[in-house]
Amino acid sequence: KAGVTQTPRYLIKTRGQQVTLSCSPISGHRSVSWYQQTPGQGLQFLFEYFSETQRNKGNFPGRFSGRQFSNSRSEMNVSTLELGDSALYLCASSVGQDTGELFFGEGSRLTVL
């Protein structure tokens, strides 16, 4: 069974640009959540989608947005990039409705110059 796939793995952008990251969950998983990980702030929850609906949201500005498609694949977008957005962005999938665990992808490493 294929794991959680995140693309791209690495990317470099400049301030003011926007970026879109993609996440393909494990087959059959309907929940996809996104996390930002930085050395200073650690792991921070961005948002969670379940069956194409945002079900939960962390405390991030509106520049951070996401969506989920009917096949459960998810994208997150960051507009007007700032230097502080440099981070490892992790996607996790789960079945979504029980006490099951999160399954993480390898992450997308974003560097903003």
- Residues near another protein (CB under 8 A) are 4, 6, 31, 33, 42-43, 45, 50, 55-56, 88, 90, 92, 94, 96-107, 109
| Pick 107 or 112: Cβ nearer another protein | 107
d(CA 93, CA 83): 28
Q: Could you tell me which of 33, 31, 24 has the C-alpha nearest to residue 5?
A: 24
Residue 12 or 80 with smaller CB distance to another protein: 12
Of 37 and 65, CB closest to another protein: 37
With H, G, I as helix, E, B as strand and everything else as coil, classify residue 9. Answer: coil
Min CB(69)–another protein separation in Å = 19
Tokens (6 digits) for 56: 């939960």
